[in-house]
Amino acid sequence: MRLVFVGLGKMGRSILRGVLDKGFLAPEEVGVLGRSPERTRELAQAFGIQPVRPEDLARAERVLIAVQPRDFPALAPLIAHPLTGYLSIMAGVSTGVLTRRLGTRRVVRAMPNLAAEIGESSTALFGPKEAEEAGDLDFARALFATVGDVYEIPERLFDAFTGMSASAPAYLAVVAEALADGGVRMGIPRALALKLAADALAATGELLKRTHPGRLKDEVASPGGTTIHGLFALEARGVRAAFMEAVERATLRGQALGEEE
């Protein structure tokens, strides 16, 4: 078996769909280990992949750990095999912790975001030289490319990447909801306001791939116009500082999760 998913929540399912839909792996090459035998069978049937028991993991080429960080200490002894490669999408769990608990340096740390669901994730990757030499890092690059773009970054930036990129869909969802609420306040029907907010964020994302955000802002904000007055209100409420603090708080929480290990 080429890859076993340990845990299969929302993010794990998005990655699994990308892997299967893009033909990176065939269903018979993929297994799943759930929190119980019943859950394992249920997930395997739902996705047409193989049910796996903890003792079967010794025969797996690689294991993708997709559980909550708090569950990892108890899980690690059950899944640790020195000849297996491991990929982790657990926030805050360093390669040092993975190595210590799994008994191998063949570990790759990855951090995708919710956009994996639509093949538009930004995924950070890091692995030590042992993972590079064993081909685990190459495997991870190809695997996560099935759900979006892949960025290899130093591990010291992982918590910041998590606090910014991995958390960004939640931040921007709040922006969309607030924009819609503003439209409703001014008389736009709720359904239309939500659609307009979603369209605006999607289109702006595409524009930002082509130009600097400051330039885009200046192009929309004409002298004495409506937009500059709206921007003044945002600045008065400290919107920039709020977003910067959100990234900082999320980064610090990622660091704290790592310290709990």
CA distances from 135 to 5, 108, 142, 235 (A): 18, 10, 11, 48
* Helix pair angle (213-220, 190-208), 10° resolution: 130
Residue 67 in marked binding region: yes
Backbone phi, psi, residue 246, to 5°: -60, -45
Cβ-proximal residues to 34 (8 Å cutoff; 6+ apart), any chain: 7, 8, 40, 42, 43
d(CA 158, CA 113): 13
- Record the tokens describing residue 54, joined without a space: 């903890």
| Contact present, 158 and 255 (Cβ < 8 Å) | no
69 labelled binding-site residue:
yes
The answer to the question of whether 239 is labelled as a binding residue is no
Which residues are annotated as part of the binding site for NADP(+)?
A: 66-69
Which residues are annotated as part of the binding site?
A: 66-69
